[in-house]
Amino acid sequence: MADLPQSVLFCCDHNAVRSPMAEGIMKKLYGFESYVQSVGVVNDLEIDGFAIAVCKEIGVEMSRHRSRSFDDLEQMGEALSGFDLIVALSPASQRRALDLTRFYHLTVEYWSIMDPTGLGETREQKLNAYRQTRDQLVDRMQQKWEGTI
């Protein structure tokens, strides 16, 4: 098991599904042991309602999440160099994170987590796709750092 990093930034394409789910789950699993934030390559979508619903099932509250981008993070005074670990959840966010951190000594990891958007026809099928993504995130964190929900 790896040691829990002091600070983690999760990133994906829009900061509307995977990265806010990861942020919420990490905070639920590890409380205040790590400082956790999330961003997207772009900030053009609101938090996804299905993501809110499936996280609520495991006690993770996300309805107050506001999407933001890498640029928004920097404008708010948070430097990427302040994070110990950046976890990219999409290829585009991995490229952006590597580009922005090429002069810093910090780790960028890529976690292959399913993008549930656009999957399923019915509400229940869509929820099941989002549950798979949620559960992949929980499993990956528990494998890496232990912890239980």
Per-residue model confidence as pLDDT tens digits over 7-23: 999 999 999 999 999 99
Phi, psi of 19 (to 5 degrees): -70, -40
* Structure confidence by residue, pLDDT tens digits, 69-118: 999 998 988 888 889 999 999 999 999 999 998 888 889 999 999 999 99
- pLDDT over threshold 80, residue 147: no
What is the DSSP track for 1-55?
-PPPPSEEEEEESSSSSHHHHHHHHHHHHHTTSSEEEEEESS--SPPPHHHHHHH
Does the pLDDT at position 1 exceed 70? no
How far apart CA 107 and CA 65 sit, in angstroms, is: 25
Confidence of residue 51 (pLDDT cuts 50, 70, 90): very high
- Reduced to 3 states (helix: H, G, I; strand: E, B; else coil), residue 147 is coil
Domains and CATH numbers, the chain: 7-145 (3.40.50.2300)
Q: How far apart are CA 7 and CA 31, in angstroms?
A: 12
